């Protein structure tokens, strides 16, 4: 017979129910700005990392059709076959490399969480370029790993030389992001291959975040897929097809890793939204040329509007630019901008340095122009 154990607390005693791991991370700096934007009256908002166009009508119509037809239940954890096969065909058509072992995830963020959960042990080191997307560092830390941010200033390129200098016996993986958030820097095929060769030399896993691969402006985008057997590709439909709220992404890579991620998804996200999976199938063959041309023009608009007042690298993709703040104090400059009704993101959110700030040019032209004029007036 089991003994029952009763724990008595003195009246007024308060339990701390939070896990100690929560002490290692803070709320997202990006989401803090989003919350601030909701309280401001008509801000000049250059902070939002999502397209300013809507989901294609064909995808919305298909989503509605699937909902009305009753396709609202769970799918297989790894996703519907039609979408998984479509994703593989998309990569084969665009890059000449079909993706193997595809699973559908709850956005790229969900895929990244599953990937790190499946591969990182406490003490394992994960290399990424600095600046980096905010989730990389915090998810690795949350899992007990060590995020090794490799300084890539001033060109923001993650190179084999920079990676080699950071590798230790505890290094487990490298995260590559191209086109990159927050810098917009793009790696070409040769640069991708050089990083893959470095990873292969040291038997490291490469996690390639390719969510912005459709938004490249000066040269065709490159993929890490097919360059090394231990590459895990993450991609999705948020940044190209504006499905940010649909939470739909995909992962493809080593069979053992995908199987582990699928098992974890069974006990967490279960599956990606069923109707959204069906609606994403036509998105894979959508014509992106007009959207890319629009964002190329917006990129030129913001770069030409800022380059004389702020040192900055011209972004080759995504929809961000990462200028250096006056005096090298990004946090102070962002506070000053917010006081003048302009919302931008401090560079310290994305970097161990606080010298820059991030602008999103996924905004109407008039917002970009007005924001640039105000920021230039604040440059001193």
Domains and CATH numbers, the chain: 20-48+288-378 (3.90.1150.10), 57-285 (3.40.640.10)
| Torsional sign, CA 296, 302, 305, 307 | negative
Does 154 sit behind a cis peptide bond, omega within 30 degrees of 0 on the bond before it?
A: yes
Is residue 277 pLDDT above 60, yes or no? yes
List pLDDT tens digits, range 23-47.
Answer: 888 776 666 776 776 777 889 999 9
Mean pLDDT of 66-90: 97
Cα–Cα distance measured from residue 370 to residue 364, given in angstroms and rounded to the nearest whole number: 10
Beta strands in the chain (DSSP E): 44-45, 102-105, 125-130, 146-151, 171-177, 205-209, 231-236, 249-252, 320-321, 342-343, 345-346, 357-360
Calculate the dihedral angle through the C-alpha atoms of 40, 241, 232, 319, rounding to the nearest 10 degrees: -50
Other CB atoms closer than 10 Å to residue 277's CB: what's the count?
24
CB 279 within 8 A of CB 66: yes
Residue 81: which H helix or E strand, with range?
Answer: helix 81-95
Lateral strand order in the sheet of 102-105: 102-105, 249-252, 231-236, 205-209, 171-177, 125-130, 146-151
Mean pLDDT of 319-348: 95
Please name every residue paired with 320 in a beta bridge, in sequence order, or none if there are none.
Answer: 360
Please name every residue paired with 251 in a beta bridge, in sequence order, or none if there are none.
Answer: 103, 234
The pTM of the full predicted model, rounded to 2 decimals, is 0.92
List pLDDT tens digits, range 153-210.
Answer: 999 999 999 999 999 999 999 999 999 999 999 999 999 999 999 999 999 999 999 9
List pLDDT tens digits, range 212-246.
Answer: 999 999 999 899 999 999 999 999 999 999 999 99
Where does the pLDDT of residue 10 fall: very low under 50, low under 70, confident under 90, or very high at 90 and above? low
Cα–Cα distance measured from residue 104 to residue 272, given in angstroms and rounded to the nearest whole number: 7
Q: Strands 231-236, 249-252: parallel, antiparallel or unpaired by DSSP?
A: antiparallel
CB 119 within 8 A of CB 268: no
Other CB atoms closer than 10 Å to residue 331's CB: what's the count?
15
For the CA atoms of the chain, what is the radius of gyration? 22
List pLDDT tens digits, range 142-167.
Answer: 999 999 999 999 999 999 999 999 99
Q: 343: closest CA among 374, 308, 364, 297?
A: 374
């Amino acid at each position: 017979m089991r003994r029952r154990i009763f724990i008595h607390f003195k009246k007024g005693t308060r339990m701390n129910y939070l896990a100690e791991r929560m002490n290692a991370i803070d709320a997202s700096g990006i989401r803090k700005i989003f919350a601030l934007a909701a309280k401001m009256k008509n801000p000049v908002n250059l902070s939002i990392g999502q397209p300013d166009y809507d989901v294609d009508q064909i995808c919305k119509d298909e989503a509605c059709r699937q909902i009305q037809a009753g396709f609202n239940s769970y799918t297989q954890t790894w996703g519907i076959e039609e979408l998984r096969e479509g994703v593989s065909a998309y990569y084969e058509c665009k890059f000449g490399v079909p993706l193997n072992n595809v699973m559908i995830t709850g956005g790229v963020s969900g895929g990244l969480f599953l990937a790190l959960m499946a591969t990182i042990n406490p003490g394992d080191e994960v290399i990424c370029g600095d600046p980096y997307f905010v989730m990389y560092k915090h998810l690795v830390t949350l899992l007990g790993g060590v995020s090794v941010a490799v300084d890539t200033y001033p060109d923001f390129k993650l190179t084999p030389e920079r990676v080699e200098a950071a590798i230790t016996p505890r290094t487990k993986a490298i995260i590559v992001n191209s086109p990159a958030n927050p810098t917009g820097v793009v790696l070409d095929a040769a640069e991708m291959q050089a990083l893959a060769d470095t990873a292969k030399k040291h038997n490291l896993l490469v996690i390639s975040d390719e969510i912005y691969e459709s938004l490249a402006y000066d040269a065709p985008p490159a993929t890490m897929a097919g360059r090394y057997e231990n590459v895990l590709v993450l991609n999705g439909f948020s940044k190209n097809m504006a499905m940010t709220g649909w939470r739909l992404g995909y992962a493809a890579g080593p069979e053992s890793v995908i199987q582990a991620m699928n098992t974890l998804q069974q006990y967490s996200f279960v599956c990606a939204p069923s109707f959204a999976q069906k609606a994403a199938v036509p998105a894979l063959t959508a014509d992106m040329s007009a959207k890319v041309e629009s964002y190329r023009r917006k990129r030129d608009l913001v770069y030409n509007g800022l380059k004389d007042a702020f040192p900055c690298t011209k972004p080759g993709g995504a929809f961000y630019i990462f200028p250096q703040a006056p005096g090298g104090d990004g946090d102070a400059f962002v506070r000053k901008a917010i006081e003048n009704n302009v919302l931008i993101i401090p560079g310290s959110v994305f970097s161990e340095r606080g010298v820059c700030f991030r602008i999103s040019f996924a905004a109407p032209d008039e917002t970009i122009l007005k924001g640039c004029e105000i920021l230039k007036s604040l440059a001193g």
